Structure 1
């Protein structure tokens, strides 16, 4: 049995300049699905910044955070590649010495290493609430998949 799949980026591929999915793109997705092709989103975005796509189309899965966290349309995790928790501890130590804007992304949640207007503005542009400040105790029980500085 063979599978065919297509992976799509979001900005400039699935969404036009107006940040909406053009009718032609939606039509093409439906035609591909009718022909048995599996359809995935592949993006550098953190997971919460992909959920809105479900309002447009029922994708088969997502490769979020540049492939660090992949899941199917039902939320089943297919692949992960976490950052070493010691690296997260080092980052947080650096934040104490000289804070800088940094987003810490777990599988389905995001945090700011310290409060930062740049992060708040970024989430606001995506109509999402600002992420809470990261608690280092999470490093022992929640894997981190992406850091955005």
Structure 2
């Protein structure tokens, strides 16, 4: 199979534990471009969290916010906010349990709690600026994803919302909340159709629970050596750790690098 496009997750895939981009991974992405293969970021992060990485790699196409916000060559292809009625249910239920929320819009993000330790711990792990404080931000702006801050033993409190919303844990104190059918695969499919490419012509790299659908959807799904164990059954190939040449090894396995 001749692959035409490669989707890269960020945290744990292109970025290591320190949120640094290893030099070999950066060089590999640039080499892909020289060889006529399109590299695209596919992340749960919002665009304002990774613009410097895009600039450093010379990439202007991305699947962000777990498939809800898709941009190709700098132009939006898909904006898919969470329905306001579903947000209202989430806000009410989280409030009843005193769990903090962070609302991610297309250009900014805000929390409904000031100085909450769970929010501070989770956001600090991303190495980005803390959200602003605006409990009513979700009422007037399109929200593409929400961080729900609770521990794993409390997840059952939200089971009643799982017909409308999907929740994917990314931190011991935080979950991504998105539409029930939302995923990176949805955004990838939109982009592939725009480019008139088939999923079989695509490769995807990931390491987390929000990468399951993506790895399963493409022609070659590659899990990093540092992946969450539950991701591995969805991968066609398991490469090395992000800090041990995992991106290069995976691209070599795909026949895209010598």
TM-score by length of 1: 0.80
Across the aligned residues of Structure 1 and Structure 2, the Cα RMSD in angstroms comes to 2.4
Partner of 1:114: 113
- Larger helix fraction of residues: 2
Q: Which has the higher contact order (CA 8 A, sep 6+)?
A: 2
Q: How does 1:53-132 map to 2 (within 5 A)?
A: 53-74=53-74, 76-115=75-114, 116-132=116-132
Hey, what's the Cα distance between the residues in 1 that align with 2:42 and 2:59?
11
Distance 1:96 1:118, change over 3 A: closer
For structure 2, the 5+ residue unaligned runs are: 149-258
Q: Distance in 2 between matches of 1:90 and 1:12?
A: 32
Greater displacement, 27-36 / 95-104: 95-104
Change (3 A) 1:97 1:17: closer
Contact 1:43 1:63 in 2 (8 A): yes
Q: How far does residue 137 in structure 1 lie from its aligned partner after superposition?
A: 6.2
Q: Structure 1 pair 15/129, CA: closer, same or farther in 2 (3 Å)?
A: closer
Q: Indicate conservation of the 8 Å contact 2:19/2:127, yes or no.
A: no
Could you say which residue in structure 2 is the equivalent of 1:29?
Answer: 29
**Residue in structure 2 matched with residue 139 of structure 1 by the alignment:** 139
* Structure 1 residue ranges without an equivalent (≥5): none
Q: Which residue of 2 aligns with 1:5?
A: 5
CA distance in 2, matches of 1:107, 1:99: 26
